[in-house]
Chains A and B, each alone.
Chain A
Amino acid sequence: MIASYLGYLFYGNLLILSLTFMYVFRIRKLIGFQLGMNISTLAGGFTAIITGVILIYQFPLKFVIVTIVTTLIGMIVGGVFGSLFDYQTLLTGYGNGLMMGIMSPMIGAAAKNSYVFLTFLEGIFIVSLFLLVLSAKRT
């Protein structure tokens, strides 16, 4: 029954992520490349992890397609957050999102549909985005 609400969770994550992106886009001139590298690494990696776990819970019979789609999503999110600052931060976010996106459907498949684990990962995602906004504001 809970499985029918996983799609809304995915859309909610994308909504929070795009709000964070719009906030960072407005103040991107104030952020140096050291913080920019950390921001792109963190956003790409955690988005790839939560997306992979949600997608493998929703479609447990399609492991191959879920792995490919998660890798592409991690690469794109890391690249978009990195392209705010520099070409080299784009490369950093791209590589880290790729590595996390390949790993995350295996973590989700090994967790055997445990919703406590999904709640824990969602909490980590929200706390990491909150820390991102906080560190971008106080720089």
Chain B
Amino acid sequence: MTMYLLCLFFLTSLIGFLIYKVFYKKRQLYNDRFGMILAMSCSGILSLNISMLSQFIISDYLFFIMIGTVVLGGSVGIVFGALVKYQSLLAGFLHGIVGSLTGNMLGIVVKDPSICSLPAQYFSMIDQNILIFSAFGTLLVMITISIVYYSLRV
């Protein structure tokens, strides 16, 4: 199962890198309002999926992963926000940090259901829940990135 999670992690990173390359090539075309919305959506969903998958992959050192993924989400937001003008950098930074905190919370709750006082039935279904949530997160990344990419033509 670690192999599957690692494949999804690299797929998410590849999607983020490709969409950054596309937007870097066309950065002269759009105005600052579209740049702000681009930074918000892309950095939020990418940092959410990356932090959730890294909580699933490494099961120990919970707080160090949290600190590392929050720093990573903030830097992803800064990189996407710095494309157009520096006023969209703040929106990207905020949404990257909020997305990575949400992803950490979801990963910890799925791994240890007694935090949210979920019923004891869940302790026998942790592996199945990890599979479903990682596939759902990657599907959300694909849908969001395709919507954002489609908005270049509208």
Query: Does A60 belong to the interface (CB within 8 Å)?
Result: yes
CB interface residues, A 95-139, toward B, < 8 Å: 95, 98-99, 102-103, 106, 109-110, 112
Specify which chain B residues have a CB less than 8 angstroms from the CB of A95 in the assembled complex: 40-41, 44-45, 95, 144
Query: Does B118 belong to the interface (CB within 8 Å)?
Result: yes
Query: Does B151 belong to the interface (CB within 8 Å)?
Result: yes
Asked whether, in the complex, the Cβ of B37 is within 8 Å of the Cβ of A88, the reply is yes
Size bracket, chain A contacts: 20 to 34
Chain B contact residues: over half helix, strand or loop, or mixed?
helix
Nearest B-chain residue to A63, judged by Cβ: B118
Chain A contact residues: over half helix, strand or loop, or mixed?
helix
Asked whether, in the complex, the Cβ of A87 is within 8 Å of the Cβ of B154, the reply is yes
Task: Choose the segment among B8-16, B82-90, B132-140 that binds chain A (4+ C-beta atoms closer than 8 Å).
Answer: B132-140
A-B contact count (CB 8 A): 64
A106/B105 contact (C-beta < 8 A), A92-B37, A95-B44 known: yes
Specify which chain B residues have a CB less than 8 angstroms from the CB of A63 in the assembled complex: 113, 118, 122, 129
Specify which chain A residues have a CB less than 8 angstroms from the CB of B154 in the assembled complex: 87
Specify which chain A residues have a CB less than 8 angstroms from the CB of B109 in the assembled complex: 106
A106/B44 contact (C-beta < 8 A), A64-B133, A88-B33, A88-B37 known: no
A91/B102 contact (C-beta < 8 A), A60-B119, A68-B136, A109-B116 known: no
Q: What 7 additional pairs, Cβ within 8 angstroms, besides A88-B151, A94-B41, A99-B99?
A: A87-B151, A91-B37, A91-B151, A102-B106, A110-B115, A110-B117, A112-B117
